[in-house]
Amino acid sequence: MTGAVSKLAAPRPAGAPPPPPASPSPSPPAAPGAPSCDAMASAKEGNGAPTKRTTLHDLYDLQGQSPWYDNLCRPVTDLLPLIGSGVRGVTSNPSIFQKAISTSNAYDDQFKQLILAGKDAESAYWELVIKDIQDACKLFEPIYDQTDGADGYVSVEVSPRLANDTQGTVEAAKWLHKVVDRPNVYIKIPATAECVPSIKEVIANGISVNVTLIFSIARYEAVIDAYIDGLEASGLSDLSRVTSVASFFVSRVDTLIDKMLEKIGTPEALALRGKAAVAQAKLANQLYQKKFSGPRWEALVKKGAKKQRLLWASTSVKNPAYPDTLYVDPLIGPDTVSTMPDQALLAFIDHGTVSRTIDANVSDAEGVYSALEKLGIDWDEVGKQLELEGVDSFKKAFDSLLGSLEEKGNSLKKTVSL
């Protein structure tokens, strides 16, 4: 790991050149117990010099899809080699921060200062997270500027404890947006039934949003409607700086439906394993094309509105029997984002195929979707179950981390009082 976060703290003056690539001077060794950011390590050449052209550059330049990195840990300057490799944004979630903070001592000094200044564990957690997000935003700001606000975003999620709290989510999103105070931050809001109205209100307040935990086409349509409703309700004459992505989860869909197909056990059912997620994603893209066209949308475009891009999330392969680029290669198309954790990112850089695939074989996708329905697979129920599991997973990660931070804080206070 290279670089020092402290170098990123000062804001870049308007018109100043973008930050240089990672310094070639020797860097201090990584802290013991630092989380393994495999893609970060493998992206480096020599002493952190800019890397050669990769398939990630081709993905964006030739097909218009933005590759993002689904991970974040300190020091965030470790992202520089990945940016050199073609990464154009970052997503984070409570599980990512739980891993980063609990397995590294890179946060210890700041945490100690916060606790000794009288902060409680949760307040300290948010300060740790906000610093990482602000520092990452500075690294991606040149991409944001070069694309006139179309790319170069860093996502941070509201507390997962608010997943069923409409107004609490709105207030948390406003607060996060205010304290991070970077133009290229996305506030992540889950696509729960309670938070779909939150999305509309937050967008109406001029705040850019990454809508997360979308598992079904029905819920995706509600998310698009919330975005468009929010733009219309904003009253803004210039909508160009209010943007959004809709994070449509992929691999988890196959994980659940494959189990259901194995339980059915017929040859027809077993032949559909590993096909549900990509089929549904392709149909989601068809819905995207339909919803972001026509007179209603065109009226917003005249005010500078940008389409809410589809973002493919959960792109790592869970079943080792499947190709490791299964959730990247078939979902490539213009004005989309693919956020990849280490495994998927490294696999795609190594042997991914750059070709427009998102609108290929759509009739096959429709066939898979309806064949699964005929077998008794209820897509809406699948979506609801995966949403519950996703929210629960993030809550557990959040609660676990806060518990360990509280213990750490209490022991620090005892040490000081001795």
6 inside domain: no
For residue 335, what is the domain's CATH number? 3.20.20.70
Res 29 pLDDT > 60: no
Q: How many domains does the chain have?
A: 1
Three-class secondary structure of residue 100 per DSSP: helix
Greater pLDDT, 19 or 138? 138
Looking at residue 251, the DSSP 8-state letter turns out to be H
pLDDT band per the 50, 70, 90 thresholds, residue 30: very low
Question: Which residues belong to the active site?
Answer: 188
pLDDT band per the 50, 70, 90 thresholds, residue 417: low
What is the pLDDT averaged over residues 72-79?
Answer: 94
70 inside domain: yes
- C-alpha 286/C-alpha 306 separation (Å) is 18
What is the pLDDT averaged over residues 155-162?
Answer: 98
Three-class secondary structure of residue 340 per DSSP: strand
Looking at residue 275, the DSSP 8-state letter turns out to be T
Greater pLDDT, 4 or 255? 255
Buried b (16+ CB within 10 A) or exposed e, 353-375: ebeebbeeeeeebeebbebbeee
β-bridge partners, 68 = 339
Looking at residue 333, the DSSP 8-state letter turns out to be -
Ranking 18-27, 248-257, 301-310 by mean pLDDT, the lowest is: 18-27
Q: Do the Cβ atoms of 230 and 202 come closer than 8 Å?
A: yes
316 inside domain: yes
293 inside domain: yes
Ranking 5-19, 51-65, 80-94, 401-415 by mean pLDDT, the lowest is: 5-19
149 inside domain: yes
128 inside domain: yes
Distances (CA, A) of 44 to 4, 75, 250, 267, 299: 16, 15, 29, 46, 46
What is the pLDDT averaged over residues 158-174?
Answer: 98
83: number of Cβ within 10 Å? 24
31 inside domain: no
Burial environment of residue 107 by CB neighbours within 10 A (0 to 12, 13 to 18, 19 or more): buried
Residue closest to 183 by CA, chosen among 206, 204, 199: 206
pLDDT band per the 50, 70, 90 thresholds, residue 3: very low
Res 317 pLDDT > 50: yes
Locus of tokens 């935990």: 213
Angle, CA of 66, 72 and 76, to the nearest 5°? 100
Tokens of 361: 């074989």
8 inside domain: no
Q: Do the Cβ atoms of 245 and 310 come closer than 8 Å?
A: yes
Q: Prior bond to 75 cis, omega within 30? A: yes
What is the pLDDT averaged over residues 398-406?
Answer: 93
**Phi, psi at residue 155, to the nearest 5°?**
-105, 140
Angle, CA of 343, 84 and 314, to the nearest 5°? 30
**Phi, psi at residue 85, to the nearest 5°?**
-85, -5
pLDDT band per the 50, 70, 90 thresholds, residue 412: confident
Res 413 pLDDT > 90: no
Res 34 pLDDT > 50: no
Q: Containing domain of residue 389, as a range?
A: 51-417
How would you classify the pairing of strands 336-340 and 65-69? parallel
Res 299 pLDDT > 70: yes
Res 14 pLDDT > 50: no
